[in-house]
Structure 1
């Protein structure tokens, strides 16, 4: 599965979700968006699950790689 990586750690918080939604919308079915973040993106998971029909919530994964590094994979159906 192809993945696009978006590192959000230096992006101001008010700009993060619009940037994520734009990047996710540009994906083709079967691709995924990999996010590198400074906190657990659990609220984003719930937002995507509720608002984005093409988000594959069952395939969502998040890995904590350090105290301020979380990597989440958001697959697109």
Structure 2
């Protein structure tokens, strides 16, 4: 299992989701995409659950490290 990390806190909002989707698509089965975000990525979770067949919604995790840092793990089946 490999883990890829994206720090999106300084990426303009319109560029975030395409960047996340591209990174996720490049993962192998069993890998995890970890994103660092400046807000809770709940809309992203719902988007992935509805649109990305290989997203393992059961394995999704998110934690808030401080006011400006949310860490979400998006596993690929």
TM over 0.5, yes or no?
A: yes
Q: d(CA) in 1 for partners of 2:72 and 2:51?
A: 18
Q: d(CA) in 1 for partners of 2:19 and 2:58?
A: 22
Q: d(CA) in 1 for partners of 2:37 and 2:21?
A: 15
Task: Give the TM-score taking structure 2 as reference length.
Answer: 0.99
Q: d(CA) in 2 for partners of 1:52 and 1:60?
A: 13
Superposition pairs of residues 31-46 of structure 1, within 5 angstroms? 31-46=31-46
Match of 1:11 in 2: 11
SS of equivalent to 1:15? helix
Q: d(CA) in 1 for partners of 2:23 and 2:2?
A: 14
How many pairs align?
Answer: 77
SS of equivalent to 1:46? helix
SS of equivalent to 2:5? strand
Match of 1:30 in 2: 30
Q: d(CA) in 1 for partners of 2:42 and 2:20?
A: 14
Q: d(CA) in 1 for partners of 2:49 and 2:32?
A: 15
Q: d(CA) in 2 for partners of 1:25 and 1:62?
A: 20
